Structure 1
Amino acid sequence: MEPRQDPARPPARNAAARALRPRPPGVRLSVGFILAKRFTLCAFANFVDVLRLAADEGDRSRPILCNWTVLSDTMDAVNSSCGISVQPKERLGDPARFDYIVVVGGLMDELPGLSTAYNRFLHQAADAGVPLIGLCTGAFMLHQAGLLDGYRCCVSWFHHADFLEQFDGLTPVTDQIFVVDGDRLTCSGGASSAHLAAYLVDKHVGRAQASKSLHIMIIDDALEPDKPQPGITLDFKTRDPIVLRTLLLMQQNIDSPLSMKEIARRTGNSKRQLERHFRAALDTSPQAAFLSIRLSLAHHLIETTEKSIAQIAVDCGFCDSSHLSRMFQRRFGKPPSALRQTVNPEG
């Protein structure tokens, strides 16, 4: 995928220029990590394991072709969101010794700002042409540091609304597993971190090493950046990328349902194209699929929250509780009030 270059920002250094930086003999890819407080361990571990497995000919974890290290301004251990801590290995120092600097974010509702030292280090890296990577909510932190202005960035569909609320003027990409835009790379976290790391290994070390890493991790072949993100659990199973992107867009607009005309426009398709793809992939129409998504969420909220039926109707894009009740009865054979009574008989 060709990176887009914004005229308002300096040109990204190319791979050949980065390859001229001093590095230990044999090392083709060098990565420094900054871990946010309460970072997500899964995103970090998946990324590192791809580097580890690609770095050695066997499975001995020797950093021959790749090296990686956790950086710190204080050298204090950093706790992940699951409670496991990681001990940094090096002080921040000169960012130009790395090919990439990766910021691993943490929980959305506990998102801390980076320290002054980290912000300064990241700006030094950007000025030196070192590409910056945001894993999971690391994209939020890069934007907080003023390092994503003018760039496209990947955000988990789950945090789409949070991103829009906190960062006016920046358009997140929530229908891809990762985004490469010049010298900024971002991904939604989880398993997509492994695919982003494999993309870098493929680019700098070789395709065979990237495939080897993923296969050992029991992950199918590397996915391209524009592979759609998985969304909330659905009754729909399909690999059609047009249908997947449309379903994700529907999920992100449950409380304010978009017209089919607007959905078609946003996905770059005609209404007729969407209908053909949905019929072929799911044997249903886009309109019926959208209603099913909204009703499934309403069912989930009735079972798992204490929200009123009226509020759930609003949250799921229905005109009022009567509208929700009619559609709910038709789909599930009982009204929302009956389900609520079953779940909470004393309520």
Structure 2
Amino acid sequence: GAVAGQLGTIIVFVSVAVLLWRPNAPSPLLNYDAGVDDAAETTAGVVDRPDLADNKAWRFGSFVLKSMDAGARTATMVVVAVAAAGVIPGVISVTGLGPNLTAFIQAIAGGSLVALLVITAISCIILGMGMPTTVTYIILVSLLGQAFVDVSGGTIPILAAHLFILYFGVIADITPPVAVAAYAASGVAKSDPFETGVKAFSLSLNKAIVPFAFVLSPGILLLRGTGTGEEAHVITFADVADLGWFVPEVLVPIVCVFVGVFALGPTIIGYLYSDVSGLERALFAVSSLFLMAPGLIFNPVLTLLELVGVTVGAGLVLDLALRAVGLVIFAALLAKNRS
């Protein structure tokens, strides 16, 4: 145990010993970064020893110093973004916005589940900017978790609600303008931070739809028991044997989510087997939404119908119908693009 604890130190000493023993040995890893040669030549010129530029130990030392310099420059940009975003939790704690935010979200949602999800998603992205994942999760759940329970009447499984909040809290790390993860990546890739954030967000759009699927179709999480206020539970063999429930509530949604994520690719990239036109990209987007979270489409419609006194109790039928439409659209586009 003691040796394992000192393993890092031992590796460093062995590496330094090898460098000093064979200073001119081949070092292919150092050749991947052209900046290493420039740094070695510059530092060797400073000490008036140009021959050191070819010394392996000297090049490695130059590489370490150059890496430290690049890391400090990258960290500075990230620290500034985090410091700016840190104003948000400070304002929440000082102004007492937390309890008021929950009441505000409930008032705006007006009992609509989809409205609640959309408002909560936006709130999670804003409040999660620049914060570590664990802190983001704890703060957002404490602020917004109760709103889910109150508006849904307890029909949303706790796990689904927590994953919804966590997903959108993490998405904040790649959402401009405070895209901390994208800023760090841009420092490594030497790219524009904002453009990197925009590209990262667009490539991660599936993360913005999957959380809705968790809440609207809890079977994806292998949960059963929603819809009547009863506590959700992880499915058992008895639930799997109940094919009348398992197939439409678990198997179909899981398969459709995978297909929907695939359909979202051509929507964002604009290419599948060949170039995808603007109209086809729009249709791919529609098919992806229908496949992954059809409840986002028909739930608002059902809510409006209930407001005018019309009750429609065929939610599962509409869910399966929209998924079928999405699958047909996707299959047609796939066949056309591949031909």
Name the TM-score, length of structure 1 as normaliser.
Answer: 0.26
Name the TM-score, length of structure 2 as normaliser.
Answer: 0.26
Larger Rg: 2
Which protein is richer in strand relative to its size? 1
State the structure with bigger RCO (CA 8 A, min sep 6), 1 or 2: 1
